[in-house]
Structure 1
Amino acid sequence: MSKHIAVIGAGPAGLFAAETLAKAGASVTIYDRMPSPARKFLMAGRGGLNLTHSEPLDAFVERYGAARAQLEPSLRAFPPTALRDWAHDLGVETFVGSSGRIFPTGMKASPLLRAWLRRLDSLGVRLATRHAWRGWDAAGALRFATGTEELRVAHDATILALGGASWPRLGSDGHWAGTLRARGVAVTDFAPSNVGFEIAWSDLFRSKFAGAPLKPATFYFEGRAVRGEAVITDYGLEGGAIYQLSAPLRDAIARDGSAILRIDLRPGEVLSSLDAKLSRPRGSKSDSSFLRGTIGLAPVGVGLLREAGLSITAAAIKSLPLKLVGARPLERAISTAGGVAWDAVTNDFELRAVPRVFVAGEMLDWEAPTGGYLLQACFSTARAAAEGALAVTA
C-alpha cells in the first residue's frame, strides 16, 4: 500500500517535492493557504522566468556563501543541467542568455506552470487550496484552517515548503516560524535579501532622476566589486548589481547604521585617461554636455556627483560614495535570509526535533543572489527532502 505524504506549500519547492514523491509511487496531497498555486513563481516570471544559471557547477555552488557546504550535495545531485532537462520533458525549451542566465524560450512562467500542474494531476497528486497550516494536534495530525472549520489529517511523512517571508501577499509570510519554534526547532530571524536600499536623496535629485538606469557601472563594497546595472528609485537604489551586494550591505547597516557604497561611473576608463579627457577645453558647454560628449557620462552620473557634493574629477567619477541608510523591508525583498537553522535538520533536511517532517526551499537558512540561484536551490532541496521522506516511509 502506498504511503501518504503531505506537502505543505504550493510554490516551486512544494510542487517539485510532490512530483518526486508521486513518481516514486507515494500518495501525495499538496496543501496551500492561497486560492491558487505558485503565485510568487508566476510573478517572478512576468519579466522573464530565470530558471537557473549556466556557469560551471564549481563556481555555481560558491554563490550560496555560508550555506554552500549544506546545499552543495543537493545541488550536485540535481544540478542546473537536470533542471533544464526537467523543463524540456514538460515541453518547455530553454536557452542561455547573454549573461549566462537560463530562461524558457517563451520567457514566461505560466506555460511551464500549466504543463507542470497537468503532470502532477496525471500522477494523482491532489492539490488542496485555501488550507492554512496551523501545526500539529496532540496526536501528531496536521491541522489546517479551512475557512470556518479546522481539518485534521494524519500522514506518514510531511514536507514543509512554505517559503521565506518576502512578498507575503503572494503566500510566503513566514508565519510558520513560531509554529516550529514551539516544537523546539531553531529558526534564525528573517532578513531581507536581494533588496533595494534607501538613500536620503534631495527632492531635486529624486524628482529629476527617479527611474533612471545607472549603467555601465561597477559597485564596490567591503572588497567586493560587481559590474552591472542599477536603477535610481524615489527611495534610493535597486537592481541586479545591488542585489549581489545586498547581504554585506544589509549586515553593515544593521551593525553600523549606514554603509558607504562606492561606484565607478566609467568602469571602461582608467584613471589617467579619464583625467586627461577631463582636462580638455570645455568652451561654452555645460558640465552635462561636456561630460556626455567627452567621456560618455550620462546626466544621472553628473547628478550623482552633484548630489554627493563632489567636484567633477576623474577620482570622483571612479569612486563616487553613496551613503545607504536602510534596506527595504521584508515585504519588498525578492527573497529572505534566515529560516530553519542548519543544525536543526539532518543531511536530507529532516527536522531533528520533529521526525518524519522535512523542510525544503526558502524555509531553510540560506540566501543567494538573483540569476537563477534561488529557484535552483528550491528545486534541488525539494528533491533531497522528497527522497528523505521516501526513505523514512519505505
Structure 2
Amino acid sequence: MDALVIGAGPAGLMAAEALARAGRRVTVAESRPTPARKFLMAGKSGLNLTKDEPLATFTAAYDSDWLAPLLANFGPEQTRDWATGLGVDLFTGSTGRVFPVAMKASPLLRAWLAQLAAMGVQLQTRWAWVGLDQGFVFDTPEGRQTLKPKVTVLALGGGSWPRLGSNAAWVPILGDAGVGIAPLRPANMGFSVDWSAHMAPHFGTAVKGCALLAGGRISRGEWVITPKGIEGGGVYAVSAAVRDGAPLTLDLAPDRSLTEVLGRLLRPQGRDTTTNWLRKALHLDPVKLALLQEWGRPLPKPPGPLAQRIKSLPVRHSGPRPLAEAISSAGGILRTSLTEDLELTALPGTFACGEMLDWEAPTGGYLLTGCLATGLHAGRAAARHF
C-alpha cells in the first residue's frame, strides 16, 4: 500500500481514483459495512449530480472563494462527463438539475466500484479510524490495526446523518493533533415549529406557490409541513441565512404585487367568513390559509395591514433542526489549516477533502460536485507527494 484513503463516500472514492490513475497502490478504509451509504440514501429520491449552468453562476453558490479553482477543474461539465464515462445516462431537468436517467445512485456506484477494483483499489469495510499513534489506528473485525502509508487522504464527511457514517468522530482526533476546526453546524436543514393543534391535518402537506425570504435571498421552492416543523428544498435554500440570525418571512401571494393584493382585499366581505373571503379574493388554498391563521393571528382588520401580512408573514420557529437530521453540515477543517493542495499543515503527508472541510453550499447538485472536486484535488496532490 502506497496510499490510504479513509472514508468511502464520493470524495474518498474520487481521491482513490485519482491516486490509482497515478499508479499508486491504494487502500480505502470504510467504517460502515458498505461504502457510500449517504450517497445511496441521497439518491433514493433521484440522484442530483450537478447543475447545468455557467461556471461563474455555479461557483457563486458556494460560500468559499477558495473552491473556485477546484470547481473550474472539476465542475458541472466534468461531473457529467465522469458519470457518462461510467456508462450512466443523464438528463437535465427544467431547473437545470442533472440526474441519471435511472434516477438512482446504485447503478452509478456499482459501475464506479467495479472500475476502482479493476484499477487495483482495495476496499476494507468495517474499519473504523480511532486515532493516531505512530500511524493511523483502526478498529477492525480482525482487531486493532495500525497503518503507516506514505500518504493519506481523509474523506470522513461532516456530522449530518451519523447513522450512515458521517458521525464527526474525527473532530477530536484532528483537534488533538493541532488541526484548526470550525464547529460543525447543520446546513440545508429544516426548522422546528411548535404548531398549534389546528395544523395537525396539514402535516405532510407540500406548500407550493409561496416565497420564503431571508437575508436577501428568495426561495420559490416547494417545502413540507411536518409534525416537527418545516423542511424541504424551498426551506433549505434560505436555511443558512436563517440559521445565522436572519428573520424568515413568507409571501403567500408572490405572483401578486402588494397593490394587487390590497385591491382584492378592498372587495366587500359580505356574509362570507374571513377564511372564505380570503380564499375567493386571493385564491389561497387551505394550507396557505392555515399558515396565515397560524403565524398571522390576530389578523389585522384594515385591508392595508392585512395585505402586508399576506405578503410578509413572519415565520415563527424555534431554530434549526438538529445536525443529525440536516442534509449537510457547515464548519469543519479550516482553510488556514490546509495548504493549496489540501494537505494538513499539522500532519504532513495527510490530505483532506469533501464535507469535512469548512465550506457550505445549497442542495441542487452543488454539494456532490463540491465533494468530487475536492476529492480529485486532494487525490492528485497526494499522488504528487511521493
State the distance in 1 between where 2:254 and 2:109 align: 40
Normalized against structure 2, the TM-score is what? 0.95
Cα distance in 2 for residues equivalent to 1:299 and 1:28: 57
Deviations 1:289-330 (A, max 9, x none): 443343221111111111120427322111111122111101
- 1:189 and 2:187 aligned: no
Structure 2 unaligned spans of 5+: 301-305
Question: Could you state the TM-score of these two structures normalised by the residue count of structure 1?
Answer: 0.93
Aligned equivalents of 1:359 and 1:310: distance in 2?
52
Aligned CA RMSD, in angstroms, stands at 1.5
Aligned to 1:58: 56
CA distance in 2, matches of 1:376, 1:241: 20
- Could you say which residue in structure 2 is the equivalent of 1:110? 106
Pick the aligned partner of 1:123 from 119, 122, 130. Answer: 119
| Correspondent of 1:45 among 43, 63, 78 | 43
- From 252, 259, 266, give the equivalent of 2:253: 266
Give the corresponding residue for 2:157.
Answer: 163
What SS does structure 2 have at the residue aligned with 1:274? helix
Q: Letter of the aligned partner of 1:78 in structure 2?
A: F
Deviation at 1:199, TM superposition (A): 1.8
* Partner Cα separation in structure 2 for residue 215 and residue 320 of structure 1: 15
**Aligned partner letter, 2:288:** G
* Aligned residue number for residue 358 of structure 1: 351
Q: Does 1:75 align with 2:71?
A: yes
CA contact (8 A) 1:5 1:155 kept: yes
Q: Distance in 1 between matches of 2:281 and 2:317?
A: 30
Q: Is the 8 A contact 1:90 1:112 kept in 2?
A: yes
Partner SS state of residue 242, structure 2: helix
Cα distance between partner residues in 1 of 2:98 and 2:375: 20
Give the unaligned 5+ runs of structure 1.
253-258
Q: Distance in 2 between matches of 1:130 and 1:377?
A: 26
Corresponding position: 1:317 with 2:304: no
- Residue aligning to 1:294: 281
Trace 1:142-161 onto structure 2 (pairs within 5 A).
142-147=136-141, 149-161=143-155
Check the 8 A contact 2:215/2:247 in 1, yes or no: no
Work out the CA distance in 1 between the residues paired with 2:123 and 2:279. 57
In 2, distance between residues paired with 1:358 and 1:367?
19
- Aligned residue in 2 for 1:255: none
Secondary structure at the aligned position of 2:292 is classed as helix
Q: Among residues 267, 270, 286, which one is paired with 1:280 in the alignment?
A: 267
- Alpha-carbon distance in 2 for matches of 1:113, 1:287: 54
CA distance in 1 between counterparts of 2:216 and 2:100 reads 35
Cα deviation for residue 362 of structure 1 reads 0.3
> 1:172 is matched with which residue: 156, 166, 172?
166
Residue 241 of structure 1 corresponds to 234
For residues 188 and 213 of structure 2, the distance between their equivalents in structure 1, rounded to whole angstroms, comes to 16
Q: Which amino acid aligns with 1:353?
A: A
1:70–1:347: 8 Å Cα contact kept in structure 2?
no
The number of aligned residues is 380
Percentage identity across aligned positions?
A: 48
CA–CA distance in structure 2, aligned partners of residues 289 and 104 of structure 1:
44
For residues 97 and 275 of structure 2, the distance between their equivalents in structure 1, rounded to whole angstroms, comes to 35
Q: Name the SS of the counterpart of 2:60 in structure 1.
A: helix
Equivalent residue for 1:204?
Answer: 198
